[in-house]
Structures are given as C-alpha cells and as structure tokens.
Chain A
Amino acid sequence: MKAYINGIGAVSPQNTLGKEHFLDDVTAVEERYLQILKPDYKTYIDPKVLRRMSKIVRMSIVAARTALDEAGIAKPDAIITGTGMGCQADTEKFLNAVLDNDEALLNPTAFIQSTHNTMGAQIALMQANNHYNLTFVNRGFSFESALLDGLMLLNEGEVLNLLLGGIDEITDESWLISTKNDMYKVEPLNNLNLLNDRQTGGLSGEGANFFVLSNQKGIDTYTRISGIETFYKPKNSGIIQEKISNFLKKHELDLKDIDLVILGYNGNPLLDTVYSEIENRLFIYQPTAYFKHLSGEYDTAVSFAVWLAAKIIKTGIVPEVVQKRKYTGRAPKNVLIFNHVRNIYHSLILLQQA
C-alpha cells in the first residue's frame, strides 16, 4: 500500500499548528473539557467569508490549508472528511431558532451550515475544487472510514493525492447531553493528570486534523500509512489481542517490530482497562504513548493520534508528555495506533517510516 503523508495541519487544544513546536509547550488546563487554541483566523480566511463560519468550519479550513501548503498542493484530487457529530453549534442555533420562533422565521445561514459535509464543501468552494468530495459520518469510525476510502482511491489509481480530515467540535450543550450517559467527566480536572482522575467518563475535547496523502513520496514526507483495520464491539480482550496479532501478521510484522504503540486512553476508569489489558498482556515490552490528555476524546480523536505518529516518525522524537511507558531506543520506524470509542468502535492504524 502506497499512501504517504506529505502534509499535515492540526488545530487542537495544543499548539500544534506550524512546525516550530512539537508538544514542548503543552497547555495544562483545569477544565471540564478541552477546547482548541483559536488560530488567528483572519490570516487564513477572508473576513467576509469568515463571518458566516462557525468554529468547526473555521478550524477545518485552517488545518486543511496548513496541510495543503506543507505539501505544496493547491487543489487536491479529492477531499475526504470524517466527522462524528458534524456542525453542532450551527445545528443547535438552528434548532433553538425553530423552538424560539415557533417553527417560523428561520435564519438560513445556520441551516445551510449545519450539515455534516459543510467543512468539506467550504474547503472545496475556496479552491473552486469540483473533484471527488465525500464526508463520512460513522460515529466512532468516521475518520477511519474516510481514511479507508482515501487509501482505496490512491491504491486504485483514481487519484494521485487527496486531502483527508478528521473533525469534531464541542459545545456546552453537546457536552452536557453527553455527560448524561456517563460518556464524559463532569467536574473540572487537570488534563495532564488525566490518567489519575477517578471520575466516570472520559475527558471531552475537539479538533481538526488534516493530512495530504499521496501515492508519491515527497521531499518532506512525514510517514507512510501502511494499513488500517476496524472492528466492532469485540467481546473480550482476547479477541482484540487476536485482531492485533493478525493485523501485524498481515503486514509481515512481529510484535517486536513495533517501536511504539499509541493507545487511546481517555481517562475513563471503566473503559481504559481495554487499553491496559492490551498494554500489559500483549505489548509487554514495547514503549507506549497516549494522547487524549492533549486532544480530549471525540469521535474522530484518532486523527490526532495519526498527527502525533506522523510527527514522531518524521522527527524521531517521542515527546515526554505523551510517553506512558518510557521510550528508550531507536527513532521509531513502525508505530501502531490502537483506539476505541466507547468500547464499541475499535481501530488499528499502522504507520511506517517512508
């Protein structure tokens, strides 16, 4: 499989935009959920266009433009996005207007911008790009589905390059609703102390992580995406271990070949055991890393892990703040991401040095 990451752009609760820093200046907050660090939108987007965009659209455009600029591509052959919840702020705005105005006198902007494909559409509009454009809304598999589609397009020779993004935003309303079923923590906590927090639920977050994938290696290629696999509601840890072993075998790798395993610990004491069992029973000797204390949990949070893995492989640095089991050894060449959302949507993504 030939899919090289030639450009990345991440808008997240950390300073992840730009090449100057790589998690050496992380933001520690005492909050109920993690929000993105707002970029200076006006340096990326015409103010006349900007005024109609909600946060999720703005951060997507900034992340997408950063990735495209890095790859030196103005108009990709395809734009593929994945989002679990889409434009929540505009959806809430529209639905509140429906209630407040008794289903009459509805403002068009919030309605137009509330569909899940708004981000992909806006990016295309700004480039006058009428190529392949698809948005995947598959809950905890949204980014994975988008990635799989992108890999198939590249491998079948349908496109030479494409823009891929994983995006989700959080609002007060959506966070509040999600806390009702114990998905997210209620009380403020220090994000850097995530794994010691005993509250039920994970730490909620948001972000826009974009990648330019190509079938050709570029001068500044980050890494190669070698494989992805998803599996739904595995019955027990044994099945997950079997899935991982088979996945590695399929890619002609052994456990010892994996230099770093990135796990999706989100601070939920009940569900983080899924990761600890894998860490302590399967990857006994491998260095491990985690990332949701920096990004927060959301349906497409795994896209932040892909950003992290790409940076690690390119720089050869595993930032101390993400190390769970201490990293010693060579610069990582093979990185495996194992993530699950609510122990329902499980995925494996393999990245290798290009």
Chain B
Amino acid sequence: MKDKNYTPRMLWLTVAVVVGTIGLGFIPPFELQGMSFARVDMLSSLRAETGGDDLPVEYEADIERLEMELAAMEMEPTVEVVDTLPEPVPVRYEWIVQEEPMVKRRVPLSTEVAPADDMRVVPIEDFDTLTVTRYERFIEKLANMEDVRIAFMGDSFVEGDILTSDLRHELQSLLGGRGVGFVACDIPFATVRKSVKRTSSGWTAYSVMKPKGTPEALRDKYFISGYIAEGGSGATTRWASTDTFATLDSCSRGRVLLYSRDTSRVLVEINDTLSREFEIAGDDHVREIYVEAPIDALRVKVLEGSVVCYGASLEGGRGITVDNFSVRCNNGHAIFGTGATVNRQIDEMLGYDLVVLQYGLNIMQPGQRVFARYRDQLRDMIAYAERCFPDAAIVVLGVSDRWVKNEESGAYEPIGSVDALTSYQRAAADSTHVAFWNTSEAMAIYGGMPRFVANGWAAKDYTHINFAGGRRVAEALARALRSSLAEELSEREAEAQRVAEEAERRALEHQMLIDRNLSATTILLDTLAEDDASMVKGDE
C-alpha cells in the first residue's frame, strides 16, 4: 500500500472537480456580510448568449481617425484658387413663408426659476477646470435667454421620448421655445412616439448599430441620431406635431437635414397645403432645407435622384430645443460609428449647447462591481462627443436604478452594481472634466425602482421606466438645471442689487454733500447778511 501509484487519482480528482463545479450551479445567489454571491455557471459558454436584445456593436474608439477626419474637414475651405473654381454648393436652402415673430421674452426672476417644490435637489456635479466652466457657460446662455439646443443621447431608457418630452416641456414652459426638435426620417423598425407623428414610405433605413448591414458608402455618414434613410423618387416622410404637450404644436421653424451625392429634386410641403421644390446640388456635405412658417406638419418627398435624409426638426419661438437621440441597445459605443464630419456639419447648422450622455443600463451584470474598461470607453465617448460638438457642455448621466429577479424566491432585489457603475461613470466625467448627474440618486428620492414599479411609473422588468416615471426623472433633472439657473440669476440679481444700492448710496452721499454745502452756504449767506445788517445798522 505504501508504494501505491497515485497517477489515476489525477483523473478521478478531475472528474470529481468537474462534477463538483457543475454542481456549484445549484447554489442559489445569496448575500453575506453585504457581499452578494452570484450563481456560478461552468457551462455558460455552451449556452446561447442571453438577452438577444443586446446586439454586439463592432465599434471601438478610434480617436486618431476622428482627429484626422476633423483636421481634413477644417482644411477643406482652403481650396486653392484655380481658373475654374467649382461653384460652392449651398449648405442651406431657405424658404421663408412667414417670418418668425420676434418674441420678446422677459428674463425670469431667480425665485421664478428656482424649483417649485421643496424636494431635495440632486445637483449637477461639474468637474470642469476652466475658470468659467462649459456648464456654467451653458447656464449663462439660459440666463441670457439665448436660443439653446440640447442633444440628449441615450438608449432604450429614453426611447419614444420618455423623460426628454417632459424635460423639454418643463424647460420650454419656463424659458420659451416650441417644438419637438429633431425626429428621424425613417427607422428600420417600428417605434411609437407620442410627441410626434411620423409617417414614411419608400425609404431604406439603416441603423448605426448594424454597420455590416449598412452600405459601404453610408457607413461614415451616420449622425448621432443613429439612423439614416436613403430613398429614390417617391420616398416621402411626413412629420406632424401633436398636442400632447402645450409647447409642441404650431412651430414656427422647420429644418430638414439631408444630402444628395448627385443633383436631385425634393419637394417640401407645409401643413399639407403649401409646397415648394428644391434642387439639391450634388455633394457629400450635409444640407438643410430651412423653412420659416407656422408649421403643424412638414413633408419631404424625393422627386428625382437619390437622397440620404437624416430627419427633420420642428422648433421655434426662440428658446429651448431638446433633441432626443435614443438608440436601443447602445451602450454609447455607437457614437464611434457616427461620422465626425457629419456631426460637425450638423452642429454648425443647429448649434448644440449641451450634450447629455445617458448610457450603461445594458452593461450591468448582477453583482458586478468593476467597470474599469467601460469607464475607459466612456472617456473615449466623451472625447469623441467633445470633438464633434466643440461648443457644447457635456453632462454624463449616471446609470438608472435597476432591480433583478431572484430566481429562487421570485422576488426582486437590487442588481447590486448600480452604485459601482455610477462611481465609474463619475470617475470618467471627473477625469475628462465634464459634468455629471447621478440618476439613481434622483430616483432614490422618489423611493427607487420598487416605488416606480408600485406607482406604475416603470415596467415590471424593474429596468425600464415609462412616461410617468420619465416625468419624475425629468423633474429631478430639471430641478438640478433650475437650481443652477436660479443660482446664476440670484447672483446676477444680487449683483444688480449691489449696483443699485451702490448707486443709491452714491446719490445719497451726493445729496448729503450738496446739503452740507448748501447749509454751509446758507450759514455764510446768513452771516454775510447779518454782517450786512449790522453794517447797515452801524451805518445808522
């Protein structure tokens, strides 16, 4: 027995370990000392990927390519002057039916913009290091009542204008502005959006999430909207405003964003009555057809040639425009698949002042605590957005609250990685010096996801909020913006007050001086008069 050879034990131990580790799959997930232990699955690679919703995105950050693209774009205008200088292609086709009325807006008081309720404000954390940060500049623009445009980029969380429609409504009611903003021309799957009625036909639509399904020539032509539609003669889309919110109907401005590689003819029709034809000169540059008129519905129709259309924007009345750019299953990576040149060109037309990045819902795994790689990718996304929208402030939204079902008890419990992902997102914002807003903390004020589900504000998957839930989150975000704005305004009011008081004090001093001089003069005169009198008396 002493000389027993243990070689076969290698096999038996391996067999036992394999059986044992597969057996570990019977241990349900549990919590101990605040640490959550997940179910282990030795055989996971033999299973189909779950959550077929999560399409793999083939994009990687390529900041170098972006820099080159932008550099090339900036060099473009310096075309050498040759004998036959090609006619520059117009970037903007205008059609002014009725000039937009000049709305005179009164700068609100800080007390008017300050959050109306007394709920706790989850502030926007500004990590910028500039003396006047980009976020402060954005708030200043709001305080100056300038026209302000917000790009809200997100995933299925804000699909269908959830959250953004309420944010838009609140800001427009407060600071002016009308219209739903940007709406895509056509999307390769059915969507529901209450804030706008879009009907389209004749287009072939492509998604930035499926680069392989996109024709080669269009792959670098995506805008951050994420969807492109290509159509020949007959292709048409009609965007009509709705009255779901008071500020949405009857806009005064409409713009259609498109381009056409070769000359084409496009018909634009307002309110199904008035129409006009445009000849679009052939070029790769994105063009806009700009219409000023009281608009309830805008239609575009390709008459001749082939057109690539991004979408249309309904807006006006001077004030705030909020564009919803939601791309389902996008963790933010899809921005790398959008064309930097296209983004810049459209930014030059529309002028974005704030870019919101709302992502991360799909990358969480129960119990996951480390998101270092995602943080690095997020930094690249921020860098990409900064370069595409150089004048905009950027706010990264922390991931929203999410609960998952415990397979054993059937009850829902926190996914356990929301705080971790939030801190990694904050770290990305911190190191890239942009602003950050903690979405899950804001949701916690309303009681977190279980409360949202109980109140009917979120779907039963404990992941996606609905319009009612979006309203709460929008309220909270608007509260943060409003308190920044109120702060700016109250500083201004204090400054104005100080200036006024200073002026008053000066005036008072002046008056006192005059008074004093006056009295001195009076005394002098009196004395003189007395002297005169005595002299007169003396004379007597």
A is bound by B? no
Footprint of A on B, CB under 8 Å?
none
Listed in ascending order, the chain A residues whose CB lies under 8 Å from chain B are none
